[in-house]
Amino acid sequence: MSDVSLVVNGKRVSAAVEDRTLLVHFLRENLGLTGTHVGCDTSQCGACVVHVDGKAVKSCTMLAAQASGSTVTTIEGLAEGADLHPVQAAFKENHGLQCGFCTPGMIMAATDMIARHPEGLDEATVRDELEGNICRCTGYHNIVKAILAASQAMSGKSKAA
Amino acid sequence: MGIEGVGARVARKEDKRFITGAGRYVDDMIVPGMKHAAFVRSPHAHAEIAGIDVKAAQAMPGVHGVLTGRELKADGIGNLICGWMIHSKDGTPMKMGAWSPLAVDRVRYVGDAVVIVVADTKGQARDAAEKVEISYKELPAVTDASKSMDAGAPQIHPEAENNLIFDWDIGNADETAAAFKNAAHVVKLDIVNNRLVPNAMEPRAALGHYDKAEDHYTCWTTSQNPHVARLVMSAFYNVAPENKLRVIAPDVGGGFGSKIYIYPEEIVCLWASKKTGVPVKWVADRTESFLTDAHGRDHHTHAEMAFDKDHNILGLKVETKANLGAYMSLFSSATPTYLYATLLSGQYNIPAIHANVKAIYTNTAPVDAYRGAGRPEATFVMERMMEIAARQFGLSPAELRRKNFVTQFPHQTPVIMCYDAGDYAASLDAAMLAADYAGFPQRKAQAAKAGKLRGIGMSCYIEACGIAPSAAVGSLGAGVGLWESAEVRVNAVGTIEVLTGSHSHGQGHETTFAQLVNERFGVPLDSVSIVHGDTDKVQMGMGTYGSRSGAVGMSAIVKALDKVEAKAKKIAAHLLEADEGDIVIENGTLKVAGTDKNVPWFQMALAAYTAHNLPGGMEPGLKETAFYDPSNFTFPAGCYICEVEVDPDTGMTEIVQFVAADDFGNIINPMIVEGQVHGGIAQGVGQALLEGAFYDASGQLLTASYMDYTMPRASDLPSFQLSTSNTPCPSNPLGIKGCGEAGAIGSPPAVINAITDALGHENLTMPATPQKVWAAARAAKH
């Protein structure tokens, strides 16, 4: 067993977990944060993306023990108060989701992507950087549109395609 | 149209929970005392089970039960069934082999479930599953439908000699043979429609809970049709009578057909819950999904088309071998027959058609309907044929198609379908304009300067949706009716709940269905709730597949709304002391036409429930139910144009533009319809360029993870250019045709026609991977 202690969505949590417990299982099963999803077993699909110390991480590819001492934000902790985060709002406004299963991971990855590109984003960059997130419903068309819209809303900048 | 009514681009009501992580999928469900299951599956494609030893597994920590097929059979649990009877051309019924939810004495594909282990945690269940000892006596396996009927091939089910399930004909062989005798040209095509894995992002899951005190079962399951699941599990699998079985399909993360069927796991979890006395949850991992979700497509086809000297089509002959895998899944027999061969007339006048379909067992995962279901296979045959014919004749692909388009409606094809409305030239024109088809030669020349091969391809698809008139499908072998139900409950304060037998797993029903109510009564969308996915809440329903929820599901809602409106007007007329015929509903108010006398919607609703002042003899309350049975299929159609650039040195194909011009009839929410088309095209492009399920000769699935099976990523696709035209469907009250599958149906031939145009070489199979495209480019001496 491993003792883990981390801050999740602003709250400190501590627990003793089996050594093999993945961060995604810790979030879902120990903390009941079921917005983070498991869509594959091979770290390909990105449905489990969360932020660890401010960076997008596939929580199925990290042990809970490795995350001990870190600050984790999940989809449940992204919005501040009752207002949607601009990326969440853009996904809704642009119909960037259908079944919703990949959506939390997409939004967490997109938030990180936008933060890494304060100069603004173009379509090719967004498509390239979504390599680690699979969606089967939307054909990515509206996800790309949503991320570009959110990027613009957050930075006021967009690059010509 | 109001801002929330029919035709409005309303953002989805359901999005809030999904974007905040508050969606509730089966794996998110927790029942007190719940334990976790792991299945022990066959590692062999074909083997006899010589013995099963569960002792070591039972002794593992946390284990509550290790159960086998023999115990399941002893408890009377039935075999899985295929619900659509097909008769061979000699009149004999299809040869369905037994499919036990847990294999008893033989396994027939890699992934066949043999033992269930129930333990405190998923990890413990998996650890214990490793300790189950099963002795197998391996048998030879066959995975390729083109070889499965060969002499000496392994025999998979004793019921099906030579692995032939049925040998089925449609159309008229004699008339077709006569047409070919008169032909000036015959174009021939051998084509493979590659096997696909649906890959909904949410893996399948089931949570079975037996309540001993109530002698009642609840099953949470990833289903597109929970009522069908309850019906089948009760009537055929003897899990529990319907009144003692509640099936709930909560938020479901995509289906694409793969979640229509009732699989072994939900049956076994329910049974195991009673057996072990604990609620049992199973969630597939992705490799289990690859191994055991029903796969799609897998057709081998030879087709010949006869033309007269002026290039008018005279006849079509098609022979198809359809691989149904190791067992017959729930609707597996319908997909390569009535959902496939009935669309082989395409958008064209074809006087004579004859098709033969042989359905074949192999040692592979069961194959059933996957987005499009038979119609992509038909479209791929037809639209590759038309393109190749045009190239052979030296005609423009558009003109050969246009010359042969059906232009008069209704149009009876030689293969059952009666097309009710359409304007195929309008879609073709719209697509060619949007794609700047005329400017293509210039773009091709430009690309050539950069060493790239540019190609353009089109596909004019038609499909049959709105499944389906119950009596018609009954006469063709369906075991169920394919109507839909709706219940509209107006509450005492005027808010409305619509209960529907359709199921939303991404399609946005909670929004579009509410728009329908808003349009009719002017009630704000916030005051309309759509309830679905729970057999305890919603009366019998048939679920969502075959692009049916708009044309059939919403038509049922319209029927219920009609009844509500009629009663509401009677109440209003009584309150306003006016004639019922003079009442109109505008902006949420019932008015006497031409006067200022009115009663707000909520006051009318309150009057219905207080019942203090209702017309004489009227029952209190305002709630109506309806069942809608369609009178015909609907026929969405359109034209897709794909333009590619191929790098002959690397074989890399880039889609530089993709245009879709669709006719879906009337549209409730264009934003949602566009989203459906986007997703469909992505799956079609995936089939054409990237995706393929491959088994090796011993029956191991080589593509059983996202590292081996290429899913379309964002960087594989362009943004799409969409447009719609509208010839309303005459057979349903909304004039809707359905849009869920069009993209997946229309796009594969457009992509392959574009690449073969670029290469000047027709011999290219899907998926057109860089290796294959490079080889084809070399063969064409680029």
Same domain for A101 and A39: no
Distance CA A51, CA A39 (A): 17
Among B18, B711, B720, select the one facing A134 at the smallest CB separation.
B711
**What is the reported pLDDT for A160?**
44
Are the beta carbons of B506 and A99 separated by less than 8 Å? yes
The two beta strands, B496-500 and B411-412, are: unpaired
State the nearest Cα–Cα gap between A85 and chain B, in angstroms: 9
Class of residue B606 by CB neighbours under 10 A (exposed 0-12, middle 13-18, buried 19+): middle
Residues A103 and A126 in one domain: yes
Q: How far is CA A122 from the centre of its chain?
A: 20
From residue B441, alpha-carbon distances to B438, B447, B448, B505, B643 in Å are: 7, 10, 10, 43, 12
Q: Which of B360, B362, B1, B401 is nearest to B167 (CA)?
A: B360
What pLDDT score was predicted for residue B654?
98
Q: Could you tell me the CATH number of the domain that includes residue A106?
A: 1.10.150.120
Sign of CA dihedral A75, A78, A79, A84: negative
Q: Does A75 sit within 8 Å of B21, measured CB to CB?
A: yes
Question: Could you tell me which of B562, B556, B563, B560 has the C-alpha nearest to residue B501?
Answer: B556
Report the C-alpha gap between B295 and B533 in whole angstroms.
24
Round to the nearest angstrom and report the end-to-end CA distance of chain B.
Answer: 55
Q: What is the mean pLDDT of residues A19-33?
A: 97
Question: Per-residue DSSP letters for B544-580?
Answer: S-TT-IIIIIIHHHHHHHHHHHHHHHHHHHHHHT--G
Nearest to A97 among B19, B285, B711 (CB): B19
Cis peptide leading into B767, omega within 30 of 0? yes
- The pLDDT value given to residue B219: 98
CA max distance for chain A:
52
Inter-chain residue contact B679 with A99, CB threshold 8 Å: no
Measured CA to CA, the distance from residue A139 to residue B646 in angstroms comes to 22
Residues 6+ apart with CB under 8 A from B87: B93, B94, B166, B168, B477
How many other CB atoms sit within 10 Å of the CB of residue B773?
A: 27
The kind and range of the H/E element at B210 are strand B205-211
DSSP classification of residue B747: H
Q: Where are the domains of chain B?
A: 422-460+635-782, 483-628
Which residue stretches of chain A are H helix? 23-25, 86-93, 103-116, 123-129, 141-155
Q: Which spans in B130-191 are helix H?
A: 145-148, 173-181
Cβ of A90 under 8 Å from any chain B Cβ? Answer: no
- For helices A103-116 and A141-155, angle between their N-to-C axes, nearest 10 degrees: 40
Interchain CB contact of A100 with B (< 8 Å): yes
Half-sphere exposure of B437 (CA within 13 A, CB side): 20
DSSP letters for B750-764: HHHHHHHHHHT----
Q: Which fold has domain B483-628?
A: Aldehyde Oxidoreductase; domain 4 (3.30.365)
Decide: A139 and B682 in contact? Cβ < 8 Å: yes
Instruction: Give the pLDDT of residue B378.
Output: 98
Residues of chain A numbered 69-88 and touching chain B (CB < 8 Å): 74-76, 78-79, 84, 88
On whether residue A109 sits in a domain, the answer given is yes
Distances (CA, A) of B576 to B70, B583, B615: 70, 9, 11
Instruction: Specify the fold of B422-460+635-782.
Output: Aldehyde Oxidoreductase; domain 4 (3.30.365)
Do the Cβ atoms of B229 and B266 come closer than 8 Å? yes
Q: Give the DSSP H or E segment for A16.
A: strand A11-17
User: Cβ separation of B20 and A88 shorter than 8 Å?
Assistant: yes
Q: Which two tokens stand for residue B91?
A: 């009149």
A37 vs B: CB within 8 A: yes
A77, A95, A123 — which closes off a domain?
Answer: A77
Do A151 and A100 share a domain, yes or no?
A: yes
Radius of gyration of the CA atoms of chain B, in A = 27
Of B377, B471, B477, residue with least CA distance to B145: B377
- B40 in helix, strand or coil? strand
The answer to whether position A160 is within a domain reads no
Q: Are residues A18 and A39 in the same domain?
A: yes
Contacts made by residues B767-770, CB under 8 angstroms, sequence distance 24+: B767/B194, B767/B686, B767/B687, B767/B688, B767/B689, B767/B690, B767/B691, B767/B692, B767/B710, B768/B653, B768/B688, B768/B689, B769/B651, B769/B689, B769/B690, B770/B650, B770/B651, B770/B652, B770/B653
> Which chain B residue has the Cα nearest residue A92?
B15
Q: How many CA atoms lie within 13 A of B280 on its CB side?
A: 29
User: Into how many domains does chain A fold?
Assistant: 2
The dihedrals phi and psi of B472, each to the nearest 5 degrees, come to: -65, -50
Contacts of A42 in chain B (CB under 8 A): 286, 705-707
pLDDT of residue B782: 84
Between A79, A92, A131, which is nearest B713 by CB? Answer: A131
What pLDDT score was predicted for residue B781? 86
Domain around A108: 86-155
- How far is Cα B635 from Cα B632, in angstroms, rounded to an integer? 9
- Residues A52 and A94 grouped into a single domain: no
Please check whether residue B750 is in contact with residue B439, taking contact to mean a CB–CB distance below 8 angstroms.
no
CA B704 to centroid of chain Cα atoms: 21
Rounded CA-CA distance B39/B66 in Å is: 10
Position A110 in a domain:
yes
Residue A115 belongs to a domain:
yes
Query: Could you state, in chain order, the average pLDDT of each consecutive group of 10 residues for chain B (782 residues)?
Result: 88 98 98 98 98 98 98 98 97 98 98 98 97 98 95 97 98 98 97 98 98 98 97 95 97 98 98 98 98 98 98 98 98 97 98 98 98 98 98 98 98 97 98 98 98 98 94 93 96 98 96 97 96 96 94 97 98 97 95 96 98 97 98 97 98 98 98 98 98 97 97 98 97 96 98 98 96 95 85
Report whether the peptide linkage leading into residue B303 is cis, meaning its omega lies within 30 degrees of zero: no
Contact residues on chain A for B679, CB-CB shorter than 8 A: 98, 136-139
A10 and A62 together in one domain? yes
> A75 near A91, Cβ under 8 Å?
no
A159, pLDDT greater than 70: no
Query: What ipTM score was computed for the predicted complex, to two decimals?
Result: 0.97
Q: Do A42 and B706 touch (CB under 8 A)?
A: yes
Q: Whose CA is closest to B217, among B258, B301, B152, B273?
A: B273
Residues written for chain A: 161
From A123's Cα to the closest Cα of chain B, the distance in A is 9
Secondary structure of B372-432 as H, E, C letters: CCCHHHHHHHHHHHHHHHHHHHCCCHHHHHHHHECCCCCEECCCCCEECCCCHHHHHHHHH
Distance, CA of B400 to CA of B384 (rounded, Å): 13
